[in-house]
Amino acid sequence: MFCPKCGSESSDDSQFCRKCGSALAATVPSSAAVAAAPVSEKTRAVRPAFVLTLLLMFAVFGWYIDHNTTGPRIKTPSMPADVVSGIVAPQLHTVNIGKGALSVAAMHFTYYTLSVPPGGHDVKVQGNFTATGGVGNDIECFLLNEEQFTNWKNRHATPTFYNSGKVTVADIQASLPDGPGTYYLVFNNNFSLLTAKAVEFNGTMVYYQ
pTM above 0.75, yes or no: no
The pLDDT, as a whole number, for residue 59 is: 81
Homologous superfamily in CATH for domain 92-208: GOLD domain (2.60.120.680)
Rounded mean pLDDT of 2-18?
Answer: 75
Under a CB-based contact definition with an 8 Å cutoff, are residues 62 and 163 in contact?
Answer: no
- Indicate the burial class of 62 (C-beta count within 10 angstroms; 0-12, 13-18, 19 or more): exposed
Under a CB-based contact definition with an 8 Å cutoff, are residues 204 and 128 in contact?
Answer: no
Which uninterrupted H or E stretch holds 76? Answer: none
The predicted-structure confidence for 26-79, as pLDDT tens digits, reads as follows 444 444 333 344 444 444 445 677 778 878 887 877 777 776 655 555 455 555
Share of the chain above pLDDT 70, in %: 78
Mode of pairing for the β-strands spanning 121-132 and 162-163: unpaired
Whether the predicted pLDDT of 201 surpasses 80: yes
Rounded CA gap, 153 and 155, in Å? 5
- Indicate the burial class of 73 (C-beta count within 10 angstroms; 0-12, 13-18, 19 or more): exposed
User: What torsion do the CA atoms of 166, 170, 176, 181 make, to the nearest 10 degrees?
Assistant: 70
